[in-house]
Amino acid sequence: MAGRLSMMRLSPFAVQPADNEDGLQWPSIVHIDADIESASRMERLLLDHVGALHVAHCAERGLRLLCTVKPQLLLIRVPLAAVDTAVLLQRIQRLQPELSVLVLTTAEAPDVVAVTTTLERVWLLQEPIQTERLLATIAQCLQCCEQIDHLRLFPRLFMNSPLAMAITDSQRNFIRVNPAFTQITGYTQAEVLGRNPRILSSGKHDGEFYRRMWQILEENDHWCGEIWNRHKDGQLFLEWLNITTLRNADGSISHYVSIFADITQRTAAEAKMRHLAQHDCLTDLPNRSLLHDRLHQALLQAQRSHGLVALVYIDIDHFKNINDCFGHVVGDGLIVNVANALRSVIRETDTVSRLGGDEFAVLLPDVGSLAVAEKLVGKLLNAVANTYQIDGHDFRVTASMGVSVFPYDGREPDTLIRHADSALYLAKNEGRNQYRFFDPVLETHTERYTTIQHNMHKALQANAFRIHFQPKYAMDSQTIVGLEALLRWQDEKLGPVSPGEFIPIAEQTGFIVELGVWLIETVCLTMAQWRASATPLVPVAVNISPLQFHRGDLQVVLSQALARHGIEPALLQVELTEGVVMNRHEPTIIALNRIKALGVAISIDDFGTGYSSLSYLSELPVDELKIDRSFIVKLAEPQHLADKRLTAVPLALIDLAANLGLKLVAEGVETDIQADFLLANGCHVIQGYWFSKPLVAEAVPDVLKRYVGKPSNDT
């Protein structure tokens, strides 16, 4: 058996082989030979090396055997009496196109040689025949056919690929090439079959080049690089070549697969890749990398000419609200429209770049003077300020812009970028829809931003954040019906830091997710402590950032915190901004339903400030609406109540909540006038300084015991 394995080299050979006495699998063979003595010799030669051998002494008998035996290999010894070999082979391929055929012939049969070279899966072996040579040829036939069977799974890829593809055997001789190979090299498959790729050698590479190439291929099973080769007509061409080694299960090499393209295709592909690497895929504007490069070049030119260079950073105002409410398709459409608006007003030498999200930058080289720079920036601001129609919706859009100027605001690209961003921060904080030039005072804002960003992480680790709780007060029953958890932070160096300052920074840096998890966990822990002191509990609302909501694991965070501290889900409420909840994307609906399934209530915060679809609102699993404080603050004086323009929105929201059967809370109530107006018009629950400022956790139990009553026995 050891001798058989060494000669045959493969096990198993093909599909459905016969088993021998050792459990190993070898192929079954049909042998057609008109010479009885020759057939007997072949039978003695092969019987110990195959699973089954079926002999026929005429073509018709052999064809019938093919239909009943279903062999893996057909041996034909020609000539056969009164049989045209070409016709017989073509007939066999029609009957069993997947069958491997080995034709045994003499050297004096050129017609047989000619026909076998045109047929697939047909091999030729000339007599006289030695045992080792015959067995090795059978193994090679079956091995090659097995590989061809695999290739048939991907015929379109192989035959239609614009890249040249070639497959060689373990001895590096061609067994298959595709049309692109012929197009690039000039050689057809018939011309290269069984030959070594050295036929393409250009002579431009020395032996060390090829030695190193094959060494890398042996070590890594892959090599790629540029290589010169020679076309059939003698012309040299440069190709980018990838070679991959294919191995058998035992680690031995079965084939090599080569894929290559000529230099023209490669150059075009590289140019496209360079463009993609330096441009935004949505707008085709230069990206941050290309902007930085052009800024560097503009500064070098300005240094030589003593000129001015302006850098403008741009944010679309309230883009996030639109994107959250109407989805990314509308958001992307708006980005493209703004990009086109900016393109329409720049000079030929200027560069508009998209930095990501709704952030743009415009490079204005050689502006001549600050007055010219301001005029150009004004044109940019006016170009963006427009009404855009996208997906059937009209959006009135404005932008905020920050400007830094070389050499006054910095001489290095990074400095100018930082200062333009600082100026943009100021423009947004001062009301948006405007531009601001950099002022050295802005450095203080930048330093504070960086300090807050750094100190927030340390504060969370040191448990320096605190939670205050503001009651939701029902005026009709004079009871507290809920609390809202509000984050507070007193920094050792900065002092008290407003949530309006640190929360946006946390959102921009992604830290808001970690902070949100801590908030949920701490609120549940605090409620457990209140319960232990016999404090009556009411639902506590926690604000969830859009970033944390869209991560997809909020349900897990909520359920784990509730279970860990034994808090009933009905005692926890999540507050989401209108823009997040009103998003029609399917993942949003799924996430809301999962939260609702926990038994946790859902509240829409700042309601009335976004782009809500009222019909869509009725389909959402929400429990509560909160009227934004911006509508309540306008009702501070008696004369305000007579102005229908000021009362229209609150009254409409009160009616909406009543009609939809939703709870309603008015935020920011601070005066008797506001409270009386809301109570008289059907909004009974308020939140604000009129009843109570936010309370530290230690003060809450006494207030709840006073305004909620004694806890029940099972609380």
Q: What is the pLDDT of residue 622?
A: 92
- What pLDDT, in 10s, does the model give residues 413-431? 999 999 999 899 888 878 8
- Would you say residue 221 has pLDDT above 70? yes
Instruction: Considering only residues 94 and 527, tell me which one the structure prediction assigns the higher pLDDT.
Output: 527
Quick one: pLDDT band at residue 85, thresholds 50, 70, 90?
A: confident
Strands (E) across 36-159 are located at 52-56, 73-77, 100-105, 122-126
SS3 348: coil
- What pLDDT, in 10s, does the model give residues 452-507? 989 999 999 988 999 999 999 999 999 999 999 999 999 988 899 999 889 988 98
Q: What is the pLDDT of residue 96?
A: 81
Determine contact, residues 109/79, Cβ cutoff 8 Å.
yes
Q: What is the pLDDT of residue 158?
A: 83
Q: What is the pLDDT of residue 108?
A: 65
What span, in angstroms and rounded, lies between the C-alpha atoms of 515 and 390? 36
Domains and CATH numbers, the chain: 2-151 (3.40.50.2300), 155-268 (3.30.450.20), 283-440 (3.30.70.270), 451-707 (3.20.20.450)
Over range 616-641, report the average pLDDT: 86
Q: What is the pLDDT of residue 583?
A: 63
Q: What is the pLDDT of residue 100?
A: 83
The most confident of the ranges 28-37, 47-56, 336-345, 492-501 is 336-345
Q: What is the pLDDT of residue 13?
A: 35
Q: What is the pLDDT of residue 14?
A: 34
Q: What is the pLDDT of residue 585?
A: 66
Quick one: pLDDT band at residue 154, thresholds 50, 70, 90?
A: low
Average pLDDT of the chain to the nearest whole number: 86
The CA angle 443-446-450, to the nearest 5 degrees, is 140
- Would you say residue 715 has pLDDT above 60? no
What span, in angstroms and rounded, lies between the C-alpha atoms of 544 and 565? 20
* Proportion of the chain above pLDDT 70, given as a percent: 89
Q: What is the pLDDT of residue 87?
A: 81
379-416 per-residue burial string, b: 16 or more CB within 10 A, e: under 16: ebbebbeeebebeeeebebebbbbbbbbeebbeebeeb
Please report where in the chains the tokens 């609200």 appear, as a residue: 321
Q: What is the pLDDT of residue 265?
A: 62
CA distances from 350 to 309, 310, 449 (A): 10, 10, 30
Q: What is the pLDDT of residue 67?
A: 84
- What pLDDT, in 10s, does the model give residues 567-596? 999 999 999 987 777 765 677 888 899 999
Q: What is the pLDDT of residue 284?
A: 94
179-208 per-residue burial string, b: 16 or more CB within 10 A, e: under 16: bbbbebbbbebeebeeeebeebeeeeeeee
Over range 616-639, report the average pLDDT: 87
| End-to-end C-alpha distance for the chain, whole angstroms | 82
Q: CA 399: distance to chain centroid?
A: 29
- What pLDDT, in 10s, does the model give residues 605-624? 877 665 556 666 777 899 99
- What pLDDT, in 10s, does the model give residues 243-282? 999 999 889 999 999 999 887 666 667 778 888 899 999 9
Q: What is the pLDDT of residue 124?
A: 83
- Would you say residue 109 has pLDDT above 70? no
Q: What is the pLDDT of residue 88?
A: 82
Over range 67-87, report the average pLDDT: 79
Count of residues in the chain: 715
Q: What is the pLDDT of residue 151?
A: 57
Tokens of 436: 């601001």
Q: What is the pLDDT of residue 711?
A: 40
Q: Which of 120-124, 482-486, 678-682 has the lowest mean pLDDT?
A: 120-124
